[in-house]
Structure 1
Amino acid sequence: MEDLVQPISLTDAAEGLRTGAVEPQKYAARTIERIAEVDGTVQSFVAEPGRADRLAHAAQEAGRRGTEPGDLPPLHGVPVGIKDIIHVEGLPTAAGSALPPEAMAGGQATVVDRLLDAGAIIAGKTVTGEFAVTAPGATRNPHRPEHTPGGTSSGSAAAVAAGLVPLAIGTQTIGSLIRPAAYCGVVGFKPSHGRIPLDGVLPVAPTFDTVGMITARVADVALAASCLCDDWRSDRAVPGRPVLGIPEGPYMNFAEPEARSAFDEQVAALRTAGYDVVSVPMFENFEEEVFDFFVINLYELSQAHADRFARYEELYDERTAEAIRQGQGAQASDHADSLARRDAFRDRLAASTAEHGVDLWITPAATGPAPLGLESAGDSVMSLPWSGVGLPCLTIPTARPAGALPLGFQCVGRAGEDESLLHWGLGLEAVLTARGTDTREN
């Protein structure tokens, strides 16, 4: 359904709003109109009585800031979607659950403060899987509504793909940003762990939890990151082209034939464009190595929900409840041992990265295109090793035949080198989105 897929460039929208080519009030009215037009099908936003009036008021306030571009903040008047595990003053947090909102109440998140300081207005809460764990929300994939949009930042990815907002904020514990962005054919960015503060965000597993963003293009992510990440400096980006590494072995075998075939064609296009690509044997004992990530995740989930689960267990989706119960079965000593092994895994990965001179690891962003049905949000395994050690990750949508479901290309940078990842991502995007990169019929 082509009319459901209309992503908007954040950089273009922000420029139009800052230069006065578009007034904030008119842009907000377009946003409300687009939500009314397609979100009954996509279901990316949490229902909000009075949204139109609230947005109109916020846009009016933005319009009073002035008209000189030099006096206006970088996201002046830009509507932004916020994943519904992130607290926003005046909007209840339900976290995709049946629990009463007061059970999740808390102060506004720093990431929301930074958006407002940058001039953005909050379009509303986007749908999430329950507590950002496993049970999917109601959101549908704008490319094909009978297919999953991925999870758990499902509403954020779908809202950007459908052109409801040019920027949406999500979170990732394992694959909750990268996978839905890939499934919905948009750009997803998970910064290095800790680069955006987590206060005001309902925790899943704090060892892994990361606030990130979804946009239409890599340049859009770079603009948003400059406003939201701690100590962002574009001049830190390393010039030139990166050496790209493919982590060959059991991990890459999780990619389905369609995803692997497309990835091989993308790699060939990058080599033709002059990129140096090396294949490195990696993760020989993958499933054994990442088992500790699940122990950490479930133990910390059970700790985060200890009081709430004791009071409201019957209101939890059974899939979330079962994950919490599994975590309750672990001991603090199990968690500590798993953290130590996780640190050893991180050190081995860093050593291999340095030994082979890899600047960016590249992989399929998901095991394949978005699966049919809404009962599962898909498999997060392609994000697992990178999220487990807190590395910055970017997924770029790639050229596809008309009518084909999207496939994302994942790039993984070194810890703390987010600026370089996005800088290099611009060049990769230019190659990967060029016509002819992927010519297979669906």
Structure 2
Amino acid sequence: MSLPFPSPNIREIRDAIRAGTRTVEQTVGQAFDAAQRLQPALRAFIHLPASPIVNRASSEAPLAGVPVGVKDLIDTADMPTAYGSPAYEGRRPDKDAWIVARLRAAGATILGKTVTTEFAWRHPGATTNPWNHDHTPGGSSSGSAAAVAAGIVPLALGTQTFGSVIRPAAYCGVVGVKPSYGTIARTGVLPLSGSLDHLGIFTTNVADAVHVLGIVAGTDADDPHTTHVSRQGHGHGDAARRPPRIGVLREQIGGPIDEAQQQVLDQLAERLRADGAEIVDADLPVELVDAAQHASILLAVEAALTHGELVDRSPALVSAPMTALVAQGRTLPATGYANAKALQVLMARRFDRWLTEAATLDALLVAPASGEAPRGLDYTGDAAFCTPWTFLGVPAITLPVGFGPGGLPLGVQLVGASQRDAALLSLAAWVEERAGWSTAVASR
């Protein structure tokens, strides 16, 4: 299909509103019209209000006029939040999630609630891939990735427990950022696994992501997992001062990847090398290969604690994948869970030391997925290429770089050291300039 004309990015919206050449109402109205027009085929939103609920903040607010899609896992006081589940249909939160309140205070307008897989697990919603409606957009942040890719909104919120920001961003051809664990307070966001859950964002470019993260990174007393530090936000990383040193894994940690996915990784690495980057073949410490296995233990046990009561009370309203996950979590021994928790801390420290001291790398350049988005809507793709980095709590960003043989987007993933998000984003901006995405889109 032909994508609609992209919406203005955040910087363009801010500049136009401050210059008086565009109003907040015009910008939000355009996004709302696009959402309604595309909804029958795209199905990115689970809820749109009857008319836009415009935030008429000062034109000087950092996100004035910016329409935002909010994943239906994240509370909004003026719109339903049902977690993608019939068990919570019509649920109205008492107040906004911390991140939603933060966005509104910065002038953003919440356009609507985007589709999530049920409880951010494996039972898909109805959203389609904007590049081809016969393919998945990925999950669990399906609607958020699709809404940005389709040009409806320049910003959407997602969550990632395994691969639910990075993978759909790659499948849909947008920028997806999963910051370091605890960077954004999760108060008002339904947990799937407290040890793994991250809030993340979708944008059309790295500069917008940097701008937004500078606003939404922060702590909240009601979120015990927040670990915000001053290195988040607008700080410059090493890539702004010297040629970067980037590691390319000899073997992808998630398993084999498609030929086209390997090709875009290789081609980008060569472009970066030609522009001065030092590209280094790298082998991860051997114990990190088991990261996904330990993540699965944490997920199953913690999901059982969060969702087990609902499964017992209303089994007909819960999908088979979630029921199975809860059952799995209830069978796992406490010693196995405690061991996985301890290893999460130890392996995270080991990875950071290896990356920054032993390998002396600014980042890893890895695959975000095995290749293009799978055909059909019943399977949202394999999270294996993202899960280890989520388990370690390190920052990751995916950038669109080209297209596969099926005409669907392919991306790359950059992974950095924990709490060095600013440095990773600086490097990502440098890589973005050389990724060739705009050229690839124009040549379609």
Structures share fold, TM-score greater than 0.5 = yes
Q: Return the alpha-carbon distance in structure 2 between the equivalents of residues 14 and 254 of structure 1.
A: 42
Query: In structure 2, what is the equivalent of residue 334 of structure 1?
Result: 336
Query: In structure 2, what is the equivalent of residue 159 of structure 1?
Result: 147
Query: In structure 2, what is the equivalent of residue 2 of structure 1?
Result: 2
Query: In structure 2, what is the equivalent of residue 268 of structure 1?
Result: 270
Task: List gaps (5 residues or longer) in structure 1.
Answer: none
How many Å apart are 1:329 and its aligned residue?
1.3
Does 99-108 or 41-50 show the bigger shift?
A: 99-108
1:189 aligns with 2:189: no
Q: Cα 1:5–1:381, aligned 2, differ >3 Å: closer, same or farther?
A: farther
Counterpart AA for 2:390: S
TM-superposition CA deviations, 1:88-120 (whole Å, max 9, x none)? 112111111111347784642110011011100
SS in 1 for 2:248: strand
Q: Return the alpha-carbon distance in structure 2 between the equivalents of residues 292 and 79 of structure 1.
A: 38
How many Å apart are 1:150 and its aligned residue?
0.3
Query: In structure 1, what is the equivalent of residue 166 of structure 2?
Result: 178
Q: Return the alpha-carbon distance in structure 2 between the equivalents of residues 322 and 123 of structure 1.
A: 34
1:37 aligns with 2:20: no
Query: In structure 2, what is the equivalent of residue 247 of structure 1?
Result: 249
Query: In structure 2, what is the equivalent of residue 93 of structure 1?
Result: 81
Counterpart AA for 2:260: E
1:212 aligns with 2:200: yes
Query: In structure 1, what is the equivalent of residue 420 of structure 2?
Result: 417
Matches for 1:54-133 after TM superposition, within 5 Å:
55=52, 57-59=53-55, 61-62=56-57, 65=58, 72-101=60-89, 105=93, 107-133=95-121
Q: Cα 1:253–1:318, aligned 2, differ >3 Å: closer, same or farther?
A: closer
SS in 1 for 2:409: coil
Q: Return the alpha-carbon distance in structure 2 between the equivalents of residues 401 and 175 of structure 1.
A: 20
Q: Return the alpha-carbon distance in structure 2 between the equivalents of residues 119 and 15 of structure 1.
A: 14
Query: In structure 1, what is the equivalent of residue 134 of structure 2?
Result: 146
Q: Cα 1:105–1:318, aligned 2, differ >3 Å: closer, same or farther?
A: farther
Q: Return the alpha-carbon distance in structure 2 between the equivalents of residues 32 and 351 of structure 1.
A: 47
Q: Cα 1:295–1:35, aligned 2, differ >3 Å: closer, same or farther?
A: same
Q: Return the alpha-carbon distance in structure 2 between the equivalents of residues 5 and 257 of structure 1.
A: 30
Would the aligned equivalents of 2:68 and 2:110 in 1 still touch at CA under 8 Å?
yes
Q: Return the alpha-carbon distance in structure 2 between the equivalents of residues 283 and 251 of structure 1.
A: 11
Query: In structure 2, what is the equivalent of residue 344 of structure 1?
Result: 346
Q: Cα 1:198–1:250, aligned 2, differ >3 Å: closer, same or farther?
A: same
Q: How many residues align?
A: 429
Would the aligned equivalents of 1:251 and 1:283 in 2 still touch at CA under 8 Å?
no
How many Å apart are 1:334 and its aligned residue?
1.9
TM-superposition CA deviations, 1:300-323 (whole Å, max 9, x none)? 111111332222222011112111
How many Å apart are 1:17 and its aligned residue?
2.3
- Identity across the alignment (%): 32
Q: Cα 1:31–1:280, aligned 2, differ >3 Å: closer, same or farther?
A: same
SS in 2 for 1:2: coil
Task: List gaps (5 residues or longer) in structure 2.
Answer: 219-229
Q: Cα 1:116–1:185, aligned 2, differ >3 Å: closer, same or farther?
A: same
Q: Return the alpha-carbon distance in structure 2 between the equivalents of residues 112 and 252 of structure 1.
A: 33
Does 24-33 or 163-172 show the bigger shift?
A: 24-33
1:19 aligns with 2:44: no
Counterpart AA for 1:78: V
TM-superposition CA deviations, 1:45-99 (whole Å, max 9, x none)? 113352x1xx2x525x34xx3x5xxxx1110121101000000112111111111
Q: Return the alpha-carbon distance in structure 1 between the equivalents of residues 177 and 98 of structure 2.
A: 18
TM-superposition CA deviations, 1:346-391 (whole Å, max 9, x none)? 2332232120101111111111010111110001111111111100
How many Å apart are 1:224 and its aligned residue?
0.8
| TM-score, with structure 2 as normaliser | 0.91
Q: Return the alpha-carbon distance in structure 1 between the equivalents of residues 13 and 120 of structure 2.
A: 29
Q: Cα 1:417–1:364, aligned 2, differ >3 Å: closer, same or farther?
A: same
Q: Return the alpha-carbon distance in structure 1 between the equivalents of residues 405 and 255 of structure 2.
A: 27
How many Å apart are 1:36 and its aligned residue?
1.9
How many Å apart are 1:248 and its aligned residue?
2.2
Query: In structure 2, what is the equivalent of residue 390 of structure 1?
Result: 393
Q: Cα 1:380–1:32, aligned 2, differ >3 Å: closer, same or farther?
A: same
Q: Return the alpha-carbon distance in structure 1 between the equivalents of residues 64 and 160 of structure 2.
A: 26
Query: In structure 2, what is the equivalent of residue 169 of structure 1?
Result: 157
Could you say what the CA RMSD is over the residues aligned between the two structures, in angstroms?
A: 2.3
Among candidates 327, 342, 360, match of residue 357 of structure 1: 360
Counterpart AA for 2:142: S
SS in 2 for 1:3: coil
Would the aligned equivalents of 1:156 and 1:168 in 2 still touch at CA under 8 Å?
yes
Q: Cα 1:250–1:234, aligned 2, differ >3 Å: closer, same or farther?
A: closer
Query: In structure 1, what is the equivalent of residue 226 of structure 2?
Result: none
SS in 2 for 1:385: helix
Q: Return the alpha-carbon distance in structure 1 between the equivalents of residues 415 and 128 of structure 2.
A: 27
Counterpart AA for 1:138: A
Q: Cα 1:401–1:342, aligned 2, differ >3 Å: closer, same or farther?
A: closer
| TM-score, with structure 1 as normaliser | 0.91
Q: Cα 1:120–1:269, aligned 2, differ >3 Å: closer, same or farther?
A: same
